[in-house]
Amino acid sequence: RQGPIVQGLISPATMGVLALLCLAVACAAVPLAARDGPLDPDAAKKATDIINFLTTGAGKGQSYKKLSEFVDTIGSRLSGSQGLENAVSYMLDILRRDGLEDVHGEMVTIPKWVRNSEYAEMTFPRTKPLAMLGLGRSVGTGPDGIEGPVIVVETFEELEERAARNETQGKIIVFNQQCDWQAQPVGCYRATNKYRTGGASAAAKAGGIAALIRSLASFSIDSPHTGTMVYETGVDRIPGACISVEDANLLARLQARGIASTVRLYMEAQTLPDATSYNVVAEIKGSTYPDEVVVVSGHLDSWDVGQGAMDDGSGAVLAWQVLSTALQLGLRPQRTLRLIMWSCEELGGVGAQQYFARHQTEAYLLSLMMESDMGDFEPQGVRFTGSDEARAIMQQVAALLEPINATAVLDDGATTDTDPWEPLGVPLASIQTHNDKYFYFHHTHGDTMDVYTPAMLDRAAALYAVTAFTVADMPAMLPRAQRP
């Protein structure tokens, strides 16, 4: 009954003004993300400042300097080793001196495997040393070593066929798996990793006395590539090692000519009681939503060969550089930036799994989890796992990286360390660079500072820093898909 009376007292012009006022009030009640887009209004300027700081300004060369000082001082950092604990102490000290907040270590229990002395040699039809590295978690050969005839196979299926013909009992099984590594290095690594991880148990089930695995490598100069392996429960544990591509091919050619080569293998590898280590954590607290978090990370451990500069010293240091850059520029995002340097990724992502077990109830506070663990070469963009709506926002973030040609948003943002969070709906991202040579050096003596240049790391750091800071500084968290 009030409606007609009001309409009679107010002119049409006045009604129009009131309608506009109501619209303005309604708009003011809508979150900024809905009114002006998902990014902070100053996102473009801040991204430009970060890029310029790291590539041409006072931050130029910082990433290379930090990484080289770290790996030259500490060296390799195998799970359970003194080198890894030296790395933890080094980082805790230097992060505090850098001015980061809430710097601390979170204790984890990790496996301790040691390589000790090892060698392999072909003893027939001639004597020749074989380029080899024992695989992580392998048992040793015993003090007398192992010597036996070799049988070369390319697949598990071929091994089973030859075992059915009684050709594998008492043999050293060589897996010479094939893949077009030059065409698809990452795809080949994923396709052939099963031979490294499961080859020893498969060989044992066929009656083999040891397993030698062709190195997972896209290029080789007689360089063996180590990595972890897994024993099947209830299957005899026999030694497992990788050999170079060249030596695997040599043994295959000899077999094709009807020559039954023999190999002697000696390994002192052993697994010791578990050790205590720490995930290293530091933060820049958010100015507006300090309980909501963007995680940047890399793993601190490495294999015991090379310096671990590429895998994953650079990932850990560039994650640190994200926070360090924000501090130096006086930028504090709306959400907390949290740095995590994971312990024991190489022997199964153990440190990250224990962090997840302790903190999984905080998943709803995580806007994005990032890691770099595939090399930090010339930047290309990011890999992303999340909702379609979040992906659209990440594409807007990536557009800010046009000055360094790093605007790609690709699929599959999970890494070994961040993967546990995907079932909880946490958006995941990883740094994507032009890493076609990553498997030249991966898990080898060649993983040293020489794989990088200062300018390359500057641009990779800019990719990491712009992406993480921009998401942390958004008015709202990244949206998640509706879960059933």
d(CA 379, CA 317): 16
At position 306, the amino acid (one-letter code) is G
Residue 283 token pair: 């933060």
Show the tokens assigned to 261.
Answer: 């080569």
Cα(211)–Cα(194) distance, integer angstroms: 13
Amino acid at 21: L
Q: What is the dihedral of CA 441, 447, 452, 456, to 10 degrees?
A: 70
Alpha-helix residue ranges (DSSP H) falling in 290-349: 314-329
Q: Which residues contact residue 39 at a Cβ distance below 8 angstroms, ignoring those fewer than 6 apart? A: 393, 396, 397, 470, 474
What are the beta bridge partners of residue 478?
A: none
Contact 159, 204 (CB under 8 A): no
Cα 206 off chain centre by: 34
Compute the distance between CA of residue 122 and CA of residue 451 in angstroms, rounded to an integer.
32
For residue 188 the two structure tokens come to: 């080949």
Q: What's the rounded Cα separation, in Å, for the pair 469 and 472?
A: 5
Give the number of other CB atoms < 10 A from CB of residue 14. 10
- Burial of 381-405, coded b for 16+ CB within 10 Å and e otherwise, reads bbbbbbeeebbebbeebbebbeebe
Q: Which residue among the candidates 283, 292, 345, 346 is catalytic per the annotation?
A: 345
Determine if residue 160 is left, alpha or beta; phi over 0 gives left, psi from -120 to 50 gives alpha, anything else beta: alpha
* Centroid of chain to Cα 276: 22
Report which DSSP code applies to 343.
S
Cα–Cα dist 378/131, whole Å: 31
Assign 3-class secondary structure to 362-402. HHHHEEEEEECCCCCCCEEEEEEECCHHHHHHHHHHHHCCH
User: Is 101 an active-site residue?
Assistant: no
Structure tokens at 10: 């107010």
Q: What is the DSSP annotation of 229-243?
A: --PPTTS----EEEE
- Neighbour count for residue 94 (Cβ, 10 Å): 15
Q: Which residues are identified as catalytic?
A: 345
